[in-house]
Structure formats: structure tokens, C-alpha cells
Amino acid sequence: MRILVFGNPYLEYDSLAVKVAKELGKEDEFIICTSPEQIMDNKFDYIMDVVEGIDDIKIFDNLKMLNPHKMFSLHDFDVTFFLSLMERLGKVDRVKIIGIPINYNKKKAIEKVKEFLESTRH
């Protein structure tokens, strides 16, 4: 499975998705992205990032469910806008985002994301 990961590894509040990806990078292919344009360059199954306003790991499969202001990274408004634009242009059929709450426990995030990814393989 290929997962595009957004976040800033240098900012504690925005680095959890990157940390989770580095821990789980053995079975799946995690691509750490630095700009939304990388979405166009890569085929992917999921996007993973931290999201403000959720209490647990959540899968967003509809961009309308994801308010652009909920994604926390400074670049994430651009990611959400970019995804919406690509969807309208027919470049992306369906986007699935693994949302990790801000300030979520790292160990718990690793376990839950791993469980989710394993469940999608069966």
C-alpha cells in the first residue's frame, strides 16, 4: 500500500504523522511529502496527516467531510484545496485520508494506524 504523508518533522504539533510513517514503513510504502504538488506525481492509496478537532484516528473518504481549516499543518490548507481541485477536474476519483488527532499519543497512533492498514489488506 502507498501512503502519502504530510507534516512538518521540525514542529512537534505537526510531526506525528511523519513519526508514525517512519515507524510503520516496513510493510507499506510511506512517502513523506513536502508540497501538495507531490500528490500529482504519485499514485497512492491514502494520505495521512494530523487533523485538528478529532479525538481518535479517523478515516475521511469524502473531502466535503474534511473542512480545510481542520487540517493543521501550515501547508495543509493547500493540500485540501489541491485535492478538492483535482477531484473537480476528475484527476482523483476518491481520496481517503487517515487523520491523526493533534497531540495524540504516538504509541497509540502507531498501533491504530497499523491495525487499520492491516484490516484493509484482508
Domains of the chain: 2-114 (3.40.50.1450)
pTM for the whole structure: 0.85
Helices (H) and strands (E) in the chain, counts: 4, 5
pLDDT, tens digit, for every residue of 68-114?
A: 545 555 445 567 777 878 888 887 777 899 999 989 999 999 999 99
pLDDT, tens digit, for every residue of 18-29?
A: 999 999 988 899
Amino acid (1-letter code) at residue 48: M
Angle at which helices 16-24 and 106-121 pack, to 10 degrees? 50
